[in-house]
Amino acid sequence: MMTELTSSDREFIFSDEHFARIRRFVTVHTGIVLPDIKKNMVYGRLSKHIRKQFNGNFDDFCDAVENGDSEVQDILVNAITTNLTAFFRERHHFDFLSNTVLPELYKKNHLTKRIRIWSAGCSTGEEAYSLAICLYEFFKDKPDWDVRVLATDLDANVLQAAKSGVYDIERLNQLELKEKKMWFKRGTGDRQNLIKVKTDIQTKVAFKRLNLLHQWPMNGPFDVVFCRNVIIYFDKETQAVLFKRFAEIMRPGGYLFIGHSETLFNVNDQFTPLGKTIYQLPS
Ligand SMILES: C[S@@+](CC[C@H](N)C(=O)[O-])C[C@H]1O[C@@H](n2cnc3c(N)ncnc32)[C@H](O)[C@@H]1O
């Protein structure tokens, strides 16, 4: 049985006021809402930084965050974000992309021969590379097509991992052997427990740091947006603003994919639900 951490169990003083200050910054800056039950999680994720850089003093940490110290703000944001992801997570989304969306875009975009997909909230990159694999498989005998994935996240640490394209071999456990061989290279010697995404796939993805709540520097239009398991942590108003902005940056008829426990119900009515958390803009 799990027992709750009480203030006397904690190494450093972490008051309700500290939590309120941290929570305020995180919600305004990232959209992530931290309910009361997350207080211990926040303490746990921050305590090593508080020990190392702030002599165990949460007051100093909160002051630095509020005074705009961007390094400390990054520590906070990187510690708070939940980065769970996987290659081909919710495989049915990738099947729908490969079997329905890409054949449709192949006809629709034949004049421009261009397809743009956005993985918004890409974490360590598995989603973006899974998208790039779908593009690679569909377009490998059509070299005149310009097909790319933009992958963005707010957390600098996960982006660094994503850009490397290197993963522990266990991350591929869900894939068939032939898929592993087609899309990844295995390390040798003391790197034999690592795999790297093959170059032809890796070069289709551009990773950039982007806070979804801030201005977006790109123009789009995107044919497809994957924003999965990101808005689950946002309140409804933030979700509504975000989906309106997605609709603006997407092509008419564009497809939006969200996480299995997320919904646009009572949040946005511009997209038509197609089932299985797949949505489409009118053409
Ligand atoms: C659980 S991961 C989802 C990864 C992937 N989309 C998937 O479904 O497997 C959520 C990601 O959203 C990112 N995120 C949270 N708030 C964000 C924001 N305001 N702007 C950009 N990314 C954000 C987090 O850093 C985290 O990497």
CA–CA separation, 225 and 223 (whole Å) = 7
Q: Determine the average pLDDT of the residues in 247-274.
A: 97
Residue 3: is its pLDDT beyond 80? no
Question: Tokens 């068939």 — which residue?
Answer: 176
Q: How far is the CA of 119 from the centre of ligand 1 (A)?
A: 10
**How would CATH label the architecture of 91-280?**
3-Layer(aba) Sandwich (3.40)
DSSP 33: -
Helices (H), the chain: 16-30, 39-53, 58-66, 70-80, 91-96, 102-108, 126-139, 156-164, 177-183, 199-202, 236-249
Work out the widest C-alpha separation in the chain, in whole angstroms. Answer: 67
As for ligand 1, residues whose beta carbon falls within 6 Å of it are: 30-32, 81-85, 89, 121-123, 127, 153-155, 158, 211-213, 228-230, 259
Burial profile 239-267: b = 16 or more Cβ within 10 angstroms, e = fewer: bbbbbeebbebbbeebbbbbbeebbbeeb
Does residue 8 register a pLDDT over 80?
A: no
Confidence of residue 130 (pLDDT cuts 50, 70, 90): very high
Average pLDDT on 109-133 reads 98
* Calculated CA dihedral for residues 160, 161, 165, 167, nearest 10 degrees: 170
Cα–chain center distance at 234: 14
Tell me what pLDDT residue 9 has.
78
How many angstroms separate the CA atoms of 39 and 15, rounded? Answer: 10
Q: What is the pLDDT of residues 146-185, one digit of tens each?
A: 999 999 999 999 999 999 999 999 999 999 999 999 999 9
Tell the residue number behind the tokens 């511009």, with chain if given: 270
Q: Given ligand 1 and candidates 81, 228, 237, which is best to mutate, with the most ligand atoms within 8 Å of its CB?
A: 81
The amino acid at residue 101 is V
Determine the atom of ligand 1 nearest the C-alpha atom of 29.
19
Q: Across residues 49-60, what is the average pLDDT?
A: 94
Mutate to test the pocket of ligand 1, among 154, 163, 245 (most ligand atoms within 8 A of CB): 154
DSSP state of 191: G
Domain segments of the chain: what residues?
Answer: 7-80, 91-280
Q: Does residue 89 have a pLDDT over 80? A: yes
Could you tell me where the beta strands, DSSP code E, fall in 172-283?
184-186, 194-197, 205-209, 222-227, 250-258, 272-275, 278-280
Return all residues near 196 (Cβ < 8 A) that are at least 6 apart. Answer: 164, 165, 166, 167, 184, 185, 187, 202
Any idea which residues carry the catalytic annotation? 45, 153
* C-alpha dihedral, 99 to 102 to 105 to 109, nearest 10°: -150
Q: Give distance in angstroms: CA of 3 to centre of ligand 1.
A: 29
Please tell me the predicted confidence (pLDDT) of residue 11: 87
Nearest-atom number in ligand 1 for the CA of 30 is: 19
Indicate the average pLDDT of the chain: 95
Nearest alpha carbon to residue 137 among 127, 150, 122, 147: 147
Contacts of 116 (CB under 8 A, 6+ apart): 148, 150, 220, 221, 222, 223, 224
Report the pLDDT value the prediction gives residue 7, as an integer from 0 to 100: 65
Instruction: Copy the structure tokens of residue 18.
Output: 């500290």
What pLDDT, on the 0 to 100 scale, is given for residue 141? 96
Query: What CATH number was assigned to the domain covering residues 7-80?
Result: 1.10.155.10
Per-residue pLDDT for 4 more than 80?
no
Please state the rounded mean pLDDT for residues 124-149: 98
Residue 118 has what DSSP assignment?
Answer: E
Q: Which atom number of ligand 1 is nearest to the Cα of residue 213?
A: 19
Output the pLDDT for position 19: 97
- Is the separation of the CB atoms in 165 and 197 below 8 Å? yes
Residue 33 pLDDT > 90 = yes
Confidence of residue 1 (pLDDT cuts 50, 70, 90): very low
